[in-house]
Structure formats: C-alpha cells, structure tokens
Amino acid sequence: MAPSRILVRCAAACLFVASLPAQNQPSPAVRNLLPPVARIIETADLSAAVGKPRELVLWMQRPQQIFREVDHPGESYCGDSVYGDHWYGPTRLSLIDREKHKILNTLEVPDFFEHPGDGHSFPVPFFVPNNFYYVPNPNSKGEGIPRILNLRDLTGEGYPGQFVLFEYEFCGTPLTSVLGYSRVSDRVVQYQVEVLRSNGMPSLDTWVATIFGRPPVTPGHWDFTWEPGHGANRKIHEQVTFDPAGQLFVDRQEITQ
C-alpha cells in the first residue's frame, strides 16, 4: 500500500480511537485485571439485565491493525463487507464480577480459518460497512464504527446477553456464531449449534452459515429458507430453536435440490 494511503487510513484509525463511545471506556479496575499487553475493544455492563454485577470485556493481545486495500479502485473483495478495517490478534472475551473486581472466566475466540501458530487470533473490525456488524452511525458510504457487543436476547431466556461474530465464507454469506453470557452457568460461552440434517448425520458446531446474521422470528427462534448460490443448486430450510436445558441451539435443516 502506498505511504499516502497508509497515512489516510491511519488518520481514520486515530480518529476512531479518539471517538470511542463512553460505554467502551473501561475503568482502571478492569484494566488492572487484564495483561499489560491487552487492548480493550469494548465493554458492556450486564448488571441491570441479569441482576448480578457482571460486565463483559472483549479484548485482544497485541493485535495488528489491518487496513483494506484501496490502491485499485473498481476492484473489490467481498470479505471487506465482513472485516472492513480490523484488528487481528489473539482475541478474548472475559466476564468480570464488578463487585468483587475479579475475572470469573475468559473465553478464547479463535478464527474459524485459523492456521497453526496464529495463537487463537480473530479479525475484529473497527471501521466496517453496515452490512453484518451493527454500525450505529454510518457515514454516507454506509460505513462506520461497529458495536461488536451488540447485546440482544438471542436465546429467548429473557435478557439481552448475547452477540454475534462473523467470518467471511463467500460473497453475501458469512459464517455466524453466538457468544455471550449464560445465566445458567454464570459464565461467558460460545454457544454450540446441533445441526440435524434430513439427509445426513447430525453435527455439533459453533459456526454456522448465515443463520445468526438474520433477525429471529421471536427471541431464540429462526425459520427461513435460503439459497447458497455460487453453483450450489439447492435450497436450505433452517428451523432453529434454543434448547435452554442443553444451553445450545438446535437447527433442523432440510436441503432440497
């Protein structure tokens, strides 16, 4: 990338850091609980939602700043709609007891496409199109600072404690995964999905195509049909419900040609 391009993108990144929303500014107590190399991406206070002094902290270890290539106008990469300009490095989600000032548990968030030696790294956007990640204040190009911890009631258990992460799979279709607070275990978790296929063996996954990027019919329930395209001549009907006893999502999937 040409130096002038880098300066422009870095200027945007500096503006981003300076304009972080107030809810993302961690307290000194939170910083002191994490390693000195930690970069805190976002925090979210769960206390009112779950009735306990709990806080989510999304942080990374010495992440790299990765900027989109902008040297060749007219050329585009579909993955930019998912990743945008992003941090890349070992990514963690911690649950903190705000009253006792201690970490209750920490979850590693590895890249679905992780390679050996990546150290459980993950791409976390800091400036991205408002396509998959929620951007509260998009600019004229539909881009802006995302809210990664966009907490919602995705399990249907009655409290907004979960959020979605995205990975690029192919144009228009991301991989999706639900993470967040489980009241049952009082921990942060990456929820599993039990996929029950009509024409194959069941599987247990944490990443599934497109599902959690779509709005649920009701909290904890999705019901829709989609076509992958890209040469795949088939339709997929996804009927997803959250099983509170097993603390996982169940996807009854039907594939037709």
Q: Which two tokens stand for residue 257?
A: 């040609």
Q: What are phi and psi of 5, to 5 degrees?
A: -65, -40
Distance of alpha carbon 19 from alpha carbon 11, whole angstroms: 12
105 confidence band (pLDDT: 50, 70, 90): very high
Q: What's the pLDDT at 8?
A: 40
- Would you say residue 232 has pLDDT above 70? no
User: Average pLDDT, stretch 151-173?
Assistant: 93
Give, in order, the Cα–Cα distances in Å from 13 to each of 19, 28, 174, 224: 10, 23, 25, 38
Cβ atoms of 29 and 12 closer than 8 Å: no
Question: For residue 7, what are the contacts with CB-CB under 8 A and spacing of at least 6?
Answer: none
Question: For residue 255, what are the contacts with CB-CB under 8 A and spacing of at least 6?
Answer: 197, 198, 199, 234, 235, 236, 237
Chain segment 5-30, per-residue pLDDT in tens = 333 444 444 444 434 433 456 778 88
Cβ atoms of 142 and 130 closer than 8 Å: yes
- Would you say residue 224 has pLDDT above 60? yes
Distance of alpha carbon 112 from alpha carbon 119, whole angstroms: 12
Chain segment 43-94, per-residue pLDDT in tens = 999 999 999 999 999 999 999 999 987 654 555 678 899 999 999 999 999 9
Question: For residue 80, what are the contacts with CB-CB under 8 A and spacing of at least 6?
Answer: 68, 129
CA triplet 199, 204, 208: central angle to 5 degrees? 80
Q: Is 146 exposed, middle or buried (0-12, 13-18, 19+ CB in 10 A)?
A: buried
Distance of alpha carbon 66 from alpha carbon 87, whole angstroms: 6
- Count of residues for the chain? 257
Domain span at 26: 3-256
Q: What's the pLDDT at 147?
A: 97
Distance of alpha carbon 140 from alpha carbon 163, whole angstroms: 26
Q: Quickly tell me which residue has 């040409």 as its tokens.
A: 2
The structural domain count of the chain equals: 1
Question: For residue 119, what are the contacts with CB-CB under 8 A and spacing of at least 6?
Answer: 61, 89, 90
